[in-house]
Amino acid sequence: MELMEWSKTFETGNPIVDGQHKNLFRMVSDLHNSFKEKHSNKVLLDTIEKLSAYVVSHFKTEEDLMLSTFYPNYLDHKREHESLKVQAAKLIKLHNMGIVDVTATVSKFLSDWLQHHIKEIDFKMIDWIKNNSGTN
């Protein structure tokens, strides 16, 4: 069983955001599977780098959408994004120092964060946009 499985309960109704969320679910699961299968550090680092780049791109998509629709909670939502970046960087730094085993910690952290973020933060954003700008 995958660490994270996409289901309709995560659909915001915005096809671009939902497509990116599906990709994030797949990428976090791929990272978790790489850890479980004890892939080389090179494979793990490549997977983490691809995930990090995709997360940055996804956050930009959401932030551009919020700015273009004058979303009133833009700064709070952006702070959530920045918080993830900081927390993930700390975990990776601790792993590189040999202090924490990133394998289960990072994948579980990302899984929990992503699921919470979609249901608690992104749903509010997309609902506001739907109700205030006529955009899906």
Residue 56: CB atoms within 10 A of its CB come to: 12
Cβ-proximal residues to 73 (8 Å cutoff; 6+ apart), any chain: 66, 124, 125, 128
Mean of pLDDT over the chain: 84
**What is the pLDDT at residue 135?**
46
pTM of the shown model: 0.84
**What is the pLDDT at residue 136?**
46
What is the separation, in whole angstroms, between the first and last Cα of the chain?
Answer: 32
* Residue type present at position 57: S
Nearest-angstrom CA–CA distance, 13 and 21: 12
Tens of pLDDT, residues 66-88:
999 999 999 999 999 998 888 87
